Amino acid sequence: MVAPLVRFAVRRSLNDTRHIRVVKRRHASGLVAEVYRQVERDFKMLAPPVALHSAAPDTMAASWMILRETLLVQGVADRASKEAVATGVSEANSCPYCADVHGMTMAAIPDPAGSDRDLLAKWARESATAAGAGVPPFPPEQAAELVGTAVAFHYYNRMVNVFLRESPFPSHVPESAKPKARKVLGGVLRPSERGPAAGDSVDLLPAGAPADGLCWTHPNAVISEAFARAYTAIDIAGTRSVPDSVRGLVHDRLALWDGQAPGISRSWLHEAVAGLPEADAAAGRLALAIALASYQVDESLIDAYRATGPGDGELVELAAWASMAAARRISTWLAAANPACG
């Protein structure tokens, strides 16, 4: 009885999604309905970090593919190790929602022999900067799954910081009830002994051109294909919803970025967009903030961007493109320590 109530509470937390409206389960159709079906089947509930993408179906499918095929699918790396990576990355990116969910899931999984969660979480936290990305504490055959999990959460943390609140529970749940709720939710999310089969999500999106920078996915063909298709879909979304000048600016900044935070204040944003056309400045500030310091995104940045006329779909696509651009940049220094990328 308790577990269904916790699932219901998490679904209710979709009402707390910020800045956009999420498509209700009963109103979903087409690609959104199919993603919802897979999420509920494989995650045991409609996970808000996936559902927040529903105004932009292709980006939703892309986000689900990279999450499912790395974190959830049973492979050569155990689920506890993947949850440790997800938690460590989320802590590095100041994403309390994701750190809470994946920390409680990890705590509910028995520690398998030979697993060192602390070491994996430390590597994941340090993966957020080029200087911290050292030799990974796992064998090469686990790289596609564990590096893939890290890259997926560098993406998801940014989206969650923008669109979800700090807690996975609805705002009306009192603090006194959350410790018990965390324990129950961890049990609900605890995976079965056999995870879902690989590849079920890949056909949600069409094949695209081979993507650069995916050497770390080898030799896992499913993860390689999932990221290639996701990259293609989100690139197309960016072309559709992000001004050319903004994409160029973000790419230029990321090419020089080493993962360090840009600063406590947001004065850097105003300086960074000084060369953009005035009509693109609000989009530029928002995209840069999401890519480099998503925890700094607030109502004022969103409102300034909204004043230029975009709807929910364009907002989600801009955020997804900026988040993935940053995650792809981080993947370059994670790949540098991967033998398959030598």
pLDDT over threshold 80, residue 176: no
Examine the pLDDT at 95 and tell me if it is beyond 60: yes
Instruction: Quickly state the pLDDT bin for 1 (edges 50, 70, 90).
Output: very low
Structurally, how many domains does the chain consist of?
2
CA pair distance 66, 226, nearest whole angstrom = 6
pLDDT digits (tens, 9 = 90+) for 37-75: 999 999 888 999 999 999 999 999 999 999 999 999 999
* Residues 26 and 174 placed together within one structural domain of the fold: yes
CATH assignment of the domain containing 160: 1.20.1290
pLDDT digits 0-9 by tens, 300-342: 999 999 999 999 999 999 999 999 999 999 999 998 877 778 6
Of 147, 178, 202, which residue sits at a domain end? 202
CA-only gyration radius of the chain, Å: 19
Taking 70 as the threshold, does the pLDDT of residue 185 lie above it?
no
Give me the active site residues, please.
Answer: 98
Cα distance between residue 316 and residue 322, in whole Å: 10
Q: Does 154 share its domain with 288?
A: no
pLDDT of residue 317: 98
SS3 content of the chain, % helix, strand, coil (to 5): 65, 0, 35
d(Cα 29, Cα 25) in Å, to the nearest integer?
A: 9
Asked if residue 207 belongs to a domain, the reply is no
Same domain, 46 and 142: yes
Same domain for 277 and 163, yes or no, is no
Looking at the structure, do residues 41 and 142 belong to the same domain, yes or no?
yes
336 domain residue, yes or no: yes
Is 191 found in the same domain as 58?
yes
Helix, strand or coil for residue 1? coil
Task: Check whether 163 has a pLDDT greater than 60.
Answer: yes
Determine, yes or no, domain membership for 326. Answer: yes
Shared domain check, 18 and 114: yes
252 and 197 in a common domain = no
- Residue-number span of the structural domain to which 279 is assigned: 234-340
From 202, 225, 256, the end of a domain falls on 202
Q: What is the model's pTM?
A: 0.93
* Whether residue 5 has pLDDT greater than 50: no
d(C-alpha 99, C-alpha 92), whole Å: 9
For residue 212, the SS3 value is coil
Structure tokens at 74: 């049973």
251 and 311 assigned to the same domain: yes
Question: Do both 107 and 22 map to the same domain?
Answer: yes
Within this chain, do residues 84 and 195 fall inside the same structural domain, yes or no?
Answer: yes
The answer to the question of residue 239 being in a domain is yes
Residue 213 lies in a domain: no
pLDDT, tens digit (0-9, with 9 covering 90-100), for 237-256? 999 999 999 999 999 999 99
